[in-house]
Amino acid sequence: MESLTGVPGCFTSRIIFIRDAPPKEIFAMDIDGGDVRQLTSTGTINMSPKWSPDGRSILFTSYLNHNPDLWSLDLESMDLRSVSNRPGINAAARFSPSGDVVALSLSFNGIPNIFTITPQGNIINRLTNSRGNDISPTWSPDGTALAYVSDQAGTPQIYILPAKGGQPRRLTFTGNYNTDPDWSPTGDLIAFTARIDGKFQICTIKADGTDYRVLTKQGANQDPAWSPDGRMIAFSSTRDGRRLIYLMDSRGEIQVPISSIPGKAPAWSRIAR
């Protein structure tokens, strides 16, 4: 693929996801659904797993200590490390492209806001201070901006703001429920979940707010995650009766299930592991 297009393919990358059955442990698999491995054995609810840029660890939120705390799992030693255990939620964390900053939602001071912290858990900056709940940050590939979800206007919508703080800009205006943003590695598109006619569908929109597209039509579809080359999107869908992980191309023209066990919240590694 690299010799043909100049961009490395994603065929040796890995996908992590949450098993959609209790206990909600984290699993990893190849992009064809093979080599499934269980990564956590916490016996509790785990959420929002994300890879580090170097592929050596993952961040995730877990109720291991009966609070939604942020944890890191080293994939070589399989050691668990507490990153943020502040009161309230410590959720939806994502490494910056450089790996030296983590964006996440914290609610220790009241309603959830977007913060940046170090990989060790020290607060760097508070980025939002709206009247609504601010969650699910995702980095632009150059690390200069973040897209996130806020209900400050009354319903969940996607906003963009500078990564060092500043005035947010509302991105989505179609529909009254838009969430789960994931910024494409190519920088031009943001994939997200939208509620359309009562059902959740995967959509894309350009970062300037143009070219809004609905990519799915069957079942309930959520949790979009771009492949490292920006050519494909992983997502969860109930179209076959169970919630499984699916893959589709960036235009939604080919959609196939890949997981052998029920799963949700997929995340794609940036490099092969």
Count Cβ atoms within 10 A of the Cβ of residue 7 and give its class: 0-12 exposed, 13-18 middle, 19 or more buried. Answer: middle
> How distant is the alpha carbon of residue 243 from its chain centre?
17
Looking at per-residue pLDDT, the higher value among 11 and 116 belongs to 116
Domains recognised in the chain with CATH numbers: 2-268 (2.120.10.30)
Specify the pTM.
Answer: 0.93
Assign 270 a pLDDT band (cuts: 50, 70, 90): confident
Residue 30 and residue 245 in contact, taking contact as beta carbons nearer than 8 Å: no
pLDDT 10s digits, 86-112: 999 999 999 999 999 999 999 999 999
Would the pLDDT of 8 be above 60? Answer: no
- Mean pLDDT, rounded, for 265-272: 83
Would the pLDDT of 12 be above 80? Answer: no
Phi, psi for residue 123 in degrees, rounded to 5: -70, 130
pLDDT of residue 271: 59
- Mean pLDDT, rounded, for 261-271: 91
Please give the structure tokens belonging to residue 122: 């020290």
pLDDT 10s digits, 123-141: 999 999 988 999 999 999 9
pLDDT of residue 130: 87
Closest CA to 71 of 63, 79, 81: 81
Closest CA to 137 of 103, 183, 175: 103
**Average predicted confidence (pLDDT) for the chain:** 94
DSSP bridge pairs for 47: 61
Closest CA to 155 of 127, 135, 178, 134: 178
pLDDT of residue 5: 44
Residues 6+ apart with CB under 8 A from 122: none
| Alpha-carbon span 231 to 6, nearest angstrom | 13
| Alpha-carbon span 96 to 17, nearest angstrom | 20
Phi, psi for residue 5 in degrees, rounded to 5: -115, -15
Q: Which helix (H) or strand (E) holds 3?
A: helix 2-5
pLDDT of residue 11: 53
Residue 127 and residue 112 in contact, taking contact as beta carbons nearer than 8 Å: no
Q: Please provide the DSSP assignment of 173-225 as one string.
A: -SSS-EEEEEE-TTSSEEEEEEEETTEEEEEEEETTS---EE---SS-EEEEE
Would the pLDDT of 1 be above 80? Answer: no
Looking at per-residue pLDDT, the higher value among 168 and 272 belongs to 168
